Amino acid sequence: MSREKLQDLTRTRKYAHQKLIEKGSGVYRAFLELEKVAFSDGALKKREKELIAIGISVRINCESCMQWHIEQAAAAGASYDEVLEAVEVGIEMGGGPATVSARLALQVMEEVYEK
């Protein structure tokens, strides 16, 4: 996947976020609150929760999710190797099809960790 594709995923995510906020979506506001609570520190720290989300994202093949949660994991202090292991757990849980999903995750990791 190209850098342009990753940038397009980001633009699309930001556009949809802004549009749903502008339209006053109560469901989306509730989702954002749920996300805030789900990813706040508790028994598990945000970093660990983001790593879990990466594995799930690989398993369900959600490109935008992989990008977002890899970026969030890095910002929360996760190392490249920790993110890689989360990707590997997603591969194990998803089998062969998840190896295809992991390709995008690896590209996002290169983009995030080269900075």
Domain boundaries, the chain: 3-113
Burial of 73 (0-12, 13-18, 19+ CB in 10 A): buried
**Both structure tokens of 101:** 């999903």
Pairwise CA distance, residues 79 & 50, whole Å: 12
**115 has pLDDT over 70:** no
**Both structure tokens of 47:** 């970093």
Helices (H), the chain: 3-22, 26-38, 46-60, 63-75, 80-94, 96-113
Pairwise CA distance, residues 17 & 91, whole Å: 29
State the pTM of this model.
0.90
The correct CATH number of 3-113 out of 3.30.1330.10, 1.20.1290.10, 3.40.50.1970, 3.20.20.140 is 1.20.1290.10
pLDDT digits (tens, 9 = 90+) for 23-68: 999 999 999 999 999 999 999 999 999 999 999 999 999 999 999 9
